[in-house]
Amino acid sequence: MDLKELLSQFKNDLKNISSLENLEAVRLSYAGKKGALAKMLKDIANLSAEEKKTLGKKINEAKQEIQEKIAEAQGGLAGKKSALPMDKFLKTLPGKKPVTGHLHIISQAISEIVEIFKPLGFTRARYPEIDWEYFAFEALNIPSTHPARDEWETFFIDAPVDKKFGRQVITPHTSNGQVREMLKGNLPIRMLNISRCGRRQEDASHLQTFFQFEGLAIDKGVSITHLKGTLEYFVKNFFGPKRKIRLRPYDFRFTEPSFEVDINCDLCGGAGCKFCKGGWVELGGAGMVHPNVLKAGGIDPNVYTGFAFGWGIERVYMMKGGIKIDDIRHLVNNDLRFLEQF
Amino acid sequence: MNILIPHNWLKDYIKTSASAQDISRFLSLHAFSVEKTTEVPRLASLSRDENDYIFEIEITPNRGDALSVLGIARELRAILPMQGIAADWVAKANDKQSSVQEKYDLKVEIKDKSLVPRFSAVILEDIQIKDSPDFMKQRLEAVGTRALNNVIDITNYLMFDKGQPMHAFDYDKILGAKMLVRESKKGEKLITLDGMERTLPEGVIVIEDGESRLIDLCGIMGAKNSEVDENTKRVLLFVQVYDPVKIRRSSMALGHRTEAALRFEKGIDFDGVVPALWEAVALMEKYADAKVVSKLIDILNVKYEPKKVAVDYGKINRVAGVEINKETVDKILQDLGFVFDGGSVIVPSWRYDDIDLAEDLAEEVVRLYGYDKLPDKLLAGEIPQQVADPVFKLEDSARSYLKHQGFFECYTNSATNQNLAGENAIEIANPLTEDFAFLKTSLLPQLLAVLEKNQGYSDKVKIFELASVYLAKKGDLPEQPMRLGLAVRGAGYPEFKGEIEGLLEELGVSIDFDIKEFGDTILAAELDFKKISHSPRRTKTYAPISSFNSIKEDLTFIMPENRDIRYHEISEAIMSADKRIKKLQFKDIYQNFLTLSIEYLDAAKQISSEQTQEIRKKIFEQLEKKLGVKLKV
């Protein structure tokens, strides 16, 4: 058989191949160690050097062609290997996933919140959880006669009283960071303080320790319009583009004016239902920084104004659609069957 | 504090075309949140055809002046016109003082003037105790108070109507016609009108009569021994202003939060006392046939001076962020009861405690103008100076790494019980529960408790927490360093150790850590995150990639059984044997057979197997000489 014939026979064989196993058999019969080409090479051993050279070259070229064609066919057959039913079944089994753990829902919420405020220029900060009464109250324009100062709201630490700063408390809000941030003396300020707080209260919607995130912006010319815009931006990014806010008058000692911020109810879309008040749900407090607080932070209230808001991380996250946690205490129970859901 | 206001009752004060729904909505947006609007059948004696509504309104703590029908009506008088709805004031001030016949008197002694800033009273006789008129009974019922008799009902009615709590004593039961106002001594007792015997703490405002009997738990509830009953003929009508802080603390300490106490503790309109008293007298004359038989007793223990605040139009606009014209500002302030005096306003007496600064006036103006009318803007201006602390990024990296190694993140409480908190733990002075009484000094005890609790979850459990611990510091706030606590059950020592090493590598730092073993299955470690964030981080620099190939091989050594050896001694011995040893890795250990992977590379030329043989020989020499470690043949 000459080379030409061999090649055309090979091409014919190739057409009828339906599996990689068959292909391998074909490859061996032509290009294998004991295949047709090897035999041909052996046959030309007795020819003259000149002839050996030309024929040998042709045989090698043919071998190369065959190998290329085989490789090509291999590519085409790659998917057809598992013709067997068991092979097919194996591919329907679930993959072997690497074992991964779970971040706590509070960490996830914090990341989300930080990412939303970052493009607005708010820098994350953290202030002491155990702080002086001064920073938690006095500096915030909350005099010692205010109800929030009574023992049944705030945890006090069993430690000596400081002449200047008073008792040590578990700060009941992140606002203790306001004056501490101002005293650093860097203006303007855009701070996002995320810290742990504590209050003497525990039930399905209150934890003795909880996290708050506190926004504080101080600059020349900051007005209620900026507070509204910032919160609207947050709400749309955090809860969804269809959500919007409204401000209602409220009273906090450390802001003037003070607001309660409402978000439109996602269950009724704002029409009013039994889960909301006339289409609105309370989100949290906010306000324009009280001039006495600016003064306590060494800032001239006639030059600078600012806004602040401080909301519970857990509370805000649980208001997101779809999370449906009925009891906030799950968050610190650390039952892995709970944690694995997030 | 929430109050109930019947729509109908508001009509005593203002005439308006605003519907109940309008009132509810506009009050919420411009003053107080109307939590609920309930439709109720009309009160037969009052309205003609339509049903009535009762508003449940949340009054903020600074607005004691609004805890009444009058207070809400005053707000509406200012709010509704801003919405284009007329609201005409139809109430007439009761300035008629009854003709006074001075037959009786009361001796008053006040121990400490600050207890009672204003003490007013008048004596009435010929009282006919009977049922109140229907309208009064129905209105009291609508706001959740049971009607008793005409005299008591009138005092309650005026509390809801004007926000001024008042009390009626049976004058003949005030022995010696004498009152001594003082603070209680600890342990004193009295029986209040509800029949409860109450043991008083120190410092509660009380009244003692001429026979040293306690006859009033001031501002909270009257005493049984001086109550008005069906035989009462003479009444002492008693209208006061008390120290609000004292009332709140006493009422909280006694666990007795009455409607009166809730109003007294939020402050009383100083100028409203006497008009309210005469209003009550008028009602008693009309519905109880009473006659005034004493002069008006009105003791002013503080000097009340009208307060003036400058109106700063520029500031109002700066706070609002839009321009609100002078005309609008003036109208809003006037409608709220402020009286212009040059460039300032005189604060209405009922807002005395609440309004001090230009900012306070700005709030009044902007809330009535409407927060919803202000545009939404983002901050502009200078670039803020703050730079984020890199620790937050490191914390995020640590969390993310551990999550992907199969760890569950936990959050435990900052405080726990004494056992779990650790030694020298800081104590909370007023804990709510024993399980939250001491601040933790280590993360591990609570994490081990979490492992214990989740026994049934899986054979292998890995958890971590990134949180502060609290370490007492003399004369200062506690140190509150961030720690990273890790705890595993069912994972091997090398696995756990490797995960921590991997974490530190991921964070680019190298610090020492200890692994603690608890029983056979639990391992834990606590890393100081501050140390991590403060230690020098490996900077990533490029080292040229060699164009020569390295040679890798595994070698197994026999560890001598009776010699105390540390792994780093072995690795140092090997690495110092020749500088062409590029990398050394621990591969396996079986019994005392230690297998290591070694990589050889010559940066200058291709390394040959002859050369590696030569290096290997040096390794064997080093190991054997220094540590007695031999190659396994």
pLDDT tens readout for residues A248-287: 999 999 999 999 999 998 888 778 787 788 888 889 999 9
Is B38 within a domain?
yes
Q: What is the pLDDT of residue B49?
A: 56
Q: At A38, which helix (H) or strand (E)?
A: helix A36-43
Reference B613, options B586, B578, B582; nearest CA is B578
The CATH number of the domain holding residue B323 is: 3.30.56.10
Judgement on whether residues B355 and B413 belong to the same structural domain of the protein: no
Judgement on whether residues B349 and B273 belong to the same structural domain of the protein: no
Q: Are B574 and B582 in contact (CB under 8 A)?
A: no
Judgement on whether residues B126 and B258 belong to the same structural domain of the protein: yes
Judgement on whether residues B289 and B147 belong to the same structural domain of the protein: yes
ipTM for this model: 0.89
The Cα–Cα gap between B413 and A207 comes to 9
Residues within 8 A of A (CB atoms), B 398-417 only: 399-400, 402-415
B132-165: pLDDT as tens digits: 999 999 999 999 999 999 999 999 999 999 999 9
Lowest mean pLDDT among B95-104, B451-460, B624-633: B95-104
Given CB atoms, is A273 within the 8 Å cutoff of chain B? no
Judgement on whether residues B69 and B113 belong to the same structural domain of the protein: no
The β-bridge relationship of strands A123-125 and A189-198 is parallel
Judgement on whether residues B11 and B57 belong to the same structural domain of the protein: yes
For B307-333, b/e burial (b = at least 16 CB within 10 A) is bebebbbebbbbbbbeebeeeebbbbb
The Cα–Cα gap between B180 and B454 comes to 64
Reference B57, options B79, B32, B83, B74; nearest CA is B32
Given CB atoms, is A201 within the 8 Å cutoff of chain B? yes
Judgement on whether residues B228 and B150 belong to the same structural domain of the protein: yes
Question: How does residue A49 score in pLDDT terms, banded at 50, 70 and 90?
Answer: confident
Q: Would you say the C-alpha torsion A73, A76, A81, A84 has a positive or negative sign?
A: negative
Average per-residue pLDDT for chain A = 89
For chain B, helix, strand, coil in percent to 5 are 35, 25, 40
The Cα–Cα gap between B448 and B522 comes to 8
The Cα–Cα gap between A163 and B238 comes to 43
- The last residue of one of the domains, among B469, B503, B534, is B534
Q: At A8, which helix (H) or strand (E)?
A: helix A3-15
Judgement on whether residues B260 and B295 belong to the same structural domain of the protein: yes
Q: Is the pLDDT of residue B64 over 80?
A: yes
The Cα–Cα gap between A308 and A224 comes to 10
Q: At B158, which helix (H) or strand (E)?
A: helix B150-162
A186-200: pLDDT as tens digits: 999 999 999 999 999
Question: How does residue B382 score in pLDDT terms, banded at 50, 70 and 90?
Answer: confident
Percent of chain A with pLDDT over 90: 57
Tokens of B558: 């026999």
The Cα–Cα gap between B57 and B72 comes to 9
Q: Give B162's DSSP letter.
A: H
Question: How does residue A21 score in pLDDT terms, banded at 50, 70 and 90?
Answer: confident
Q: Are B336 and B78 in contact (CB under 8 A)?
A: yes
The Cα–Cα gap between A27 and A21 comes to 10
B562 by Cβ neighbours in 10 Å (0-12 / 13-18 / 19+) ranks as exposed
Q: Is the pLDDT of residue A20 over 80?
A: no
The Cα–Cα gap between B134 and A61 comes to 118
The Cα–Cα gap between B348 and B364 comes to 13
B214-268: pLDDT as tens digits: 999 999 999 999 999 999 999 999 999 999 999 999 999 999 999 999 999 999 9
Contacts of A188 in chain B (CB under 8 A): 381-382, 384-385
Which of the two residues, B92 and A114, has the higher pLDDT score?
A: A114
Q: Would you say the C-alpha torsion B98, B100, B105, B111 has a positive or negative sign?
A: positive
The CATH number of the domain holding residue B578 is: 3.30.70.380
Query: Which residue is closest to B396 within chain A, CA to CA?
Result: A111
Question: How does residue B198 score in pLDDT terms, banded at 50, 70 and 90?
Answer: very high
Nearest chain B CA: its distance from A321 CA (Å): 23
- ∠ CA(B553), CA(B556), CA(B558), 5° rounding? 160
Tokens of B414: 């900052």
Q: What is the pLDDT of residue A78?
A: 66
CATH 3.30.2080.10 matches A105-127+177-339: no
Strands (E), chain A: 123-125, 130-132, 168-170, 189-198, 209-219, 245-250, 255-264, 280-289, 305-312
Q: Give B563's DSSP letter.
A: S
Is B162 within a domain?
yes
The β-bridge relationship of strands B339-341 and B52-58 is unpaired
CB within 8 Å of B564: residues ≥ 6 apart? none
The β-bridge relationship of strands B189-191 and B14-16 is unpaired
Tokens of B493: 């020592």
Q: Is the pLDDT of residue B95 over 70?
A: no
The Cα–Cα gap between B428 and A157 comes to 5
Question: How does residue B102 score in pLDDT terms, banded at 50, 70 and 90?
Answer: confident
- Domain spans, chain A: 3-81, 105-127+177-339
Range of the domain at B78: 2-89
Contacts of A114 in chain B (CB under 8 A): 392
The Cα–Cα gap between A120 and A100 comes to 33
Question: How does residue A318 score in pLDDT terms, banded at 50, 70 and 90?
Answer: confident
Judgement on whether residues B124 and B252 belong to the same structural domain of the protein: yes
Reference B251, options B193, B195, B198; nearest CA is B198
State the best of A127, A152, A157 to mutate against chain B, taking most chain B CBs within 10 Å.
Answer: A157
Q: What is the pLDDT of residue B44?
A: 58
Q: Are B428 and B415 in contact (CB under 8 A)?
A: yes
Contacts of A335 in chain B (CB under 8 A): 453-454
- ∠ CA(B579), CA(B581), CA(B587), 5° rounding? 150
Q: Is the pLDDT of residue A296 over 60?
A: yes
Judgement on whether residues B156 and B247 belong to the same structural domain of the protein: yes
Judgement on whether residues B178 and B246 belong to the same structural domain of the protein: yes
Per the listing, tokens 């292998």 go with: B460
- The last residue of one of the domains, among B38, B57, B89, is B89
Tokens of A192: 């996002």
Looking at the 3D structure of chain B, how many domains does it have?
A: 5
Task: Output Rg (C-alpha) for chain B, integer angstroms.
Answer: 40
**Alpha-carbon distances, residue A237 vs A244, B154, B247, B428 (angstroms):** 10, 55, 46, 39
Q: Is the pLDDT of residue A73 over 90?
A: no
Outline where B454-575 has alpha helix (H).
Answer: 493-507, 529-534, 567-575
Is B544 within a domain?
no
The Cα–Cα gap between B287 and B278 comes to 14
Reference B591, options B620, B619, B552, B632; nearest CA is B632
The CATH number of the domain holding residue B235 is: 3.50.40.10
Judgement on whether residues B181 and B209 belong to the same structural domain of the protein: yes
Question: How does residue A166 score in pLDDT terms, banded at 50, 70 and 90?
Answer: very high
Contacts of A103 in chain B (CB under 8 A): 399-400, 403, 409
Q: Give B131's DSSP letter.
A: P
State the best of B22, B371, B454 to mutate against chain A, taking most chain A CBs within 10 Å.
Answer: B371
In the predicted model, what is the mean pLDDT of residues A201-226?
Answer: 94
